[in-house]
Amino acid sequence: MKFLTISTFKDTLSSLPPEEKQKLNIADVEYLLGMKKKMGDKWTFYSLPGWNRYISVGEYNSLEEYSQTLQGPSMQAGYTNDESYPLIELDIKQVEAYLEEMKAAK
């Protein structure tokens, strides 16, 4: 099963002293890099400076495995809002056949 997870930082994070924010950011990046190393090509994350969020896409063997990945430092400290969406894989031939059916129905 694949999931898209969007983790957005809460406003309360800005109330932390700069040193604490930096420690938390470093811990988050180390956690994310560790996840990438552990899961390899089955997991990818994206983040841009000033974006205020992490986005990840991962393929998991079970919901338990997925829930274990949601244990990053910011998540544990309650500084993120997390949204998760299950993803499905589509067979392109099925999609093309569906589109042809829809065109014919017009």
DSSP per-residue letters across 3-22: EEEEEEE-GGGGGS-HHHHH
pLDDT tens, position by position, 19-78: 998 898 889 889 888 888 888 889 888 888 788 888 999 999 888 888 888 888 888 888
Amino acid (one-letter) located at 29:
V
Q: What share of the chain is helix, strand, coil (3-state, %, to 5)?
A: 55, 25, 20
Rounded CA gap, 1 and 62, in Å? 7
Sorted by where each starts, the structural domains of the chain and their CATH numbers stand as 2-105 (3.30.70.1060)
- pTM given for the model: 0.72
